[in-house]
Amino acid sequence: MRAELVDILHLFDEVLQELGQPGLLKNPLFAQKPHFDSEFYMPFELAQQSSNAIPIWFELSQSGLTFYLDRTNEIPEWDYKTLMDNPEHVKQTIRNILTAWVLVDYKGQKTVLRLFNECGEQINQFTYWQGIRLNFLKSSTFYLYQPILRCP
């Protein structure tokens, strides 16, 4: 395994351990996607996707860390330098993704993900556009996902 991949895996494991979970490679909540891993790349997904948890998969690579949440692509995404220069920000965002309630707003080709803490305060927001269409003519559809993990 490349040194960059080890660094990113260690960063992710720190978040999981703070949440009282085993590291990523030994965590039963996550499964490594078969036939895609290498010394440069490790994709993961939820081991058992439930209907009330956000569909999620993410990839660790020598060049960075990328999440795919619900129908969004590459949100959030960090290159290796950003991960190493801002580890606390990245760890907080990972923690938020894993422990927050997620309200998804679909409006045409636009998807807005709003993450809320236990008190109902918005802690992150990600917006994803797929194509260029007049989304203001579309009605919104909302879906609320429960946290993947609970804070200890």
Q: Give tens-digit pLDDT for 82-117.
A: 999 999 999 999 999 999 999 999 888 889 999 999
Is 66 in the same domain as 121?
no
Block mean pLDDT (10 aa), the chain, length 152: 92 96 95 79 88 91 94 92 97 96 90 94 92 72 92 74
Residue 150 lies in a domain: no
Is 35 in the same domain as 92?
yes
Is 90 in the same domain as 37?
yes
Tally the domains of the chain: 2
- 63, β-bridge pairs: none
Residue 18 lies in a domain: yes
Structure tokens at 9: 């895996």
Q: Which domain holds residue 141?
A: 102-145
Assessment of whether the complete model's pTM goes beyond 0.85: yes
Is 30 in the same domain as 85?
yes
Per DSSP, the three-state class of 6 is helix
Structure tokens at 140: 């919104």
Q: How far apart are the first and last CA of the chain?
A: 31
What is the pLDDT, as a whole number, of residue 27?
Answer: 95
Is 61 in the same domain as 110?
no
39 HSE (CA, 13 A, CB side) = 3
